[in-house]
Structure 1
Amino acid sequence: MLALEHLFLWFLLYSFAGWVYESILVSISERHLVNRGFLNGPLCPIYGCGAVLAIVLLHDLTNPVEIFLISSFGASVLEYATSWGMEKLFHARWWDYSHFRFNIQGRICLLGAIVFGFGGVLIIDVIQPQVERLTAMIPLMAVHVMCVVFAIAVIVDTIITVLGIVDLSDHLAKFGDAVQSRVEEAGDSWQWGKEAFRDKMRDLSESSQERIVGMRHLASSALNWQQRRMIRSFPRMRSTESTKYSKIIETAREMLRRK
């Protein structure tokens, strides 16, 4: 039982480290602070799962080349499976590596595999021995309490997140219809997509800019908090149901970014 509790605590630790890593990368890329991660809390579970699997399966290996190769392959399989599963469940692609060379269906890429390979070596040879030493110092009762509290928090967070995002397509359709109705009432034309929205903003007068503020409120009312957070957190997120929904996501993201 204690071994499983330690694995759970390590899962949380590496999930948090993955969240920090992802948030820094995306924030730099987007040039503004991004709270990256599928869950509301500061966790990227895919990193925690990958790290714990590596710890369980590779702890007896001493050859860094073997650790690197197995970590690269295993993490890529996990990332591909996660991307596929989330796409089937939520009808959306959360990340896309199509702009990188040597990618497979945009789900995984060679650069990511290399990073994960080095990460596996770093965890197994450098970080995890120190983590195990520190974990062993935590009193047994504290371990039990921490595991119960964190497990409840993660379960509740997961339920809230899934319930909030599962009907994303319906909300995108609602948002699209609301914007089109608003535009038609004003006798104007409208095109979906990031670039089309930016061009529209440049062409609008100051009075018309106020109409965009109203559309931003439409985005806030048609899309729930979870959906808005996801759209902000995943810059390459797109719908797998229709190109129009993907363009609506791009437009909503641009609207939500504007104060």
Structure 2
Amino acid sequence: MYYNLSLLFIYFFLYAIIGWMCEVVYCSIPEKKFINRGFLNGPYCPIYGVGALIIIMFLMPYVSDPILVFFIGIILTSTLEYVTSWGMEKLFHAKWWDYSDHKFNINGRVCLLNSFLFGLLCVVLMYVVHPIVYDLVNSFSSFWIQVIATVAAVFFLSDLVESTRETVSFNKKLSSVYEATTELKDNLKEKGITTAHEVTARVRDLKDGKLSEAKDSAHHLIVSLTNRINETKFINRYSHRRIMSAFPKMAHQDHQSSLELYKAYMEKNKSAKTEHDVK
């Protein structure tokens, strides 16, 4: 029993890593920088591990028909992506990816282009990747399969716990940004800043050194706001920056304006650090 579970987990783990690699390449090339994709910190995306197992189990009986594999693969992977998007949104009150700007999308959770690509990946998985992975995994003895699976499971579960904790911390951070903005709301209105968009724009201007106390009467309020944001523990945590980088189209249900403001603040800090390092 333990051997079978170990074998299953190794397949899950390997395909989660392969999926992460595909995501990183797909997202990093257009941005011309490395982007650590995925909810977890480690080099794996669980959704690909789960998806690969589902595909293999459901499509193995149809492996003699590549066309059928392609279309059933589209249905399976699109369903998984939609359910995962919905589940994470309910759990963390944020929409982690959004395909609303893509044609033929369903509630921004899945789109035709990605579904088509996933269908192609299903074909590649069944006819190219899985035979290689199968031979590789089964080249190990049952003892080593159980050892490798146990070590990988401990590593993976530890990352899952830590990443979940960091995401909860990220949500708390957005709440604190909202509270800081609310406390200064009346004072900002007196200076002519009436919308969350204007506040975010002023923080970005501050980043670029465009504001000066002599020219902008709201300067001290914007500085005070950024100081309040900075007071929160772990403000410069890598995890917060990574989450926003990995999911640039994230939309928060409760604190979207705070998310945009926090992004602007983190960009300001990153720019300031870069200038300091150069000097």
What amino acid does structure 1 have at the position aligned with 2:262? Answer: A
Equivalent residue, structure 1, for 2:150: 148
Equivalent residue, structure 1, for 2:22: 21
What amino acid does structure 1 have at the position aligned with 2:264? Answer: E
SS at structure 2 position matched to 1:60: helix
Unaligned runs of 5+ in 2: 214-218, 272-279
Distance 2:182 2:25 in 1: 36
Deviation at 1:10, TM superposition (A): 1.5
CA separation of 1:239/1:37 partners in 2, compared to 1, >3 Å: closer, same or farther? same
Deviation at 1:171, TM superposition (A): 2.3
Distance 1:126 1:20 in 2: 17
Task: Report the aligned-residue RMSD.
Answer: 3.1
Deviation at 1:28, TM superposition (A): 3.0
Deviation at 1:234, TM superposition (A): 0.7
What amino acid does structure 2 have at the position aligned with 1:76? Answer: S
Distance 2:148 2:134 in 1: 16
Q: Per-residue displacement from partner, 1:89-113 (whole Å, max 9, x unpaired)? A: 1100000000100000000000111
Equivalent residue, structure 2, for 1:45: 46
Deviation at 1:223, TM superposition (A): 7.6
**Partners of 1:5 and 1:144 within 8 A in 2:** yes
Unaligned runs of 5+ in 1: none
Equivalent residue, structure 2, for 1:114: 116
Larger radius of gyration: 2
Deviation at 1:67, TM superposition (A): 0.4
Deviation at 1:37, TM superposition (A): 1.0
Deviation at 1:230, TM superposition (A): 1.5
TM-score (norm 1): 0.84
SS at structure 2 position matched to 1:89: helix
Q: Structure 1 residue 63 and structure 2 residue 65: aligned?
A: yes
How many matched pairs?
255
**Partners of 2:74 and 2:119 within 8 A in 1:** yes
**Partners of 2:6 and 2:150 within 8 A in 1:** no
Q: Structure 1 residue 235 and structure 2 residue 248: aligned?
A: yes
Distance 1:218 1:32 in 2: 30
**Partners of 1:175 and 1:218 within 8 A in 2:** no
CA separation of 1:26/1:155 partners in 2, compared to 1, >3 Å: closer, same or farther? same
What amino acid does structure 2 have at the position aligned with 1:240? Answer: Q
Q: Structure 1 residue 251 and structure 2 residue 261: aligned?
A: yes
Distance 1:26 1:182 in 2: 38
**Partners of 1:219 and 1:256 within 8 A in 2:** no
**Partners of 2:99 and 2:109 within 8 A in 1:** yes
Distance 1:36 1:81 in 2: 19
